[in-house]
Amino acid sequence: MPAHARLLFPAACIILLILAGSFAGCTSNTGPVTTGDATPVPAAAGGTNAVTIRDFTFSPATITVRTGTTVTWTNQDGAAHTIVSDAGSPVAFTSDSLANGASYQITFTQAGTYPYHCSIHPNMKGTVVVQS
44 contacts 66 by C-beta, under 8 angstroms: yes
Query: Judged by CB under 5 A, how many residues of this single chain contact Cu ion?
Result: 5
Q: Please tell me whether residue 125 binds Cu ion under the rule CB under 5 A.
A: no
C-beta closer to Cu ion: residue 71 or 118: 118
32: number of Cβ within 10 Å: 8
Q: Please tell me whether residue 83 binds Cu ion under the rule CB under 5 A.
A: no
- Residue 116 CB, shortest distance to Cu ion, in Å, is 11
Q: Please tell me whether residue 102 binds Cu ion under the rule CB under 5 A.
A: no
Sequence-separated contacts (24+) of 47-56 with Cβ below 8 Å: 50/74, 51/126, 52/76, 53/77, 53/81, 53/98, 53/118, 53/124, 56/81, 56/118, 56/121, 56/123, 56/124
Q: Please tell me whether residue 120 binds Cu ion under the rule CB under 5 A.
A: yes
C-beta closer to Cu ion: residue 57 or 67: 57
Instruction: Rule CB under 5 A: choose which of 42, 121, 127, 131 binds Cu ion.
Output: 121
Q: Please tell me whether residue 81 binds Cu ion under the rule CB under 5 A.
A: yes
Q: Please tell me whether residue 129 binds Cu ion under the rule CB under 5 A.
A: no
- Residue 78 CB, shortest distance to Cu ion, in Å, is 11
User: What is residue 94's DSSP assignment?
Assistant: B
Helix, strand, coil distribution of the chain in percent, nearest 5: 25, 35, 40
Applying CB under 5 A, the span of 33-41, 62-70, 96-104, 120-128 interacting with Cu ion comes to 120-128
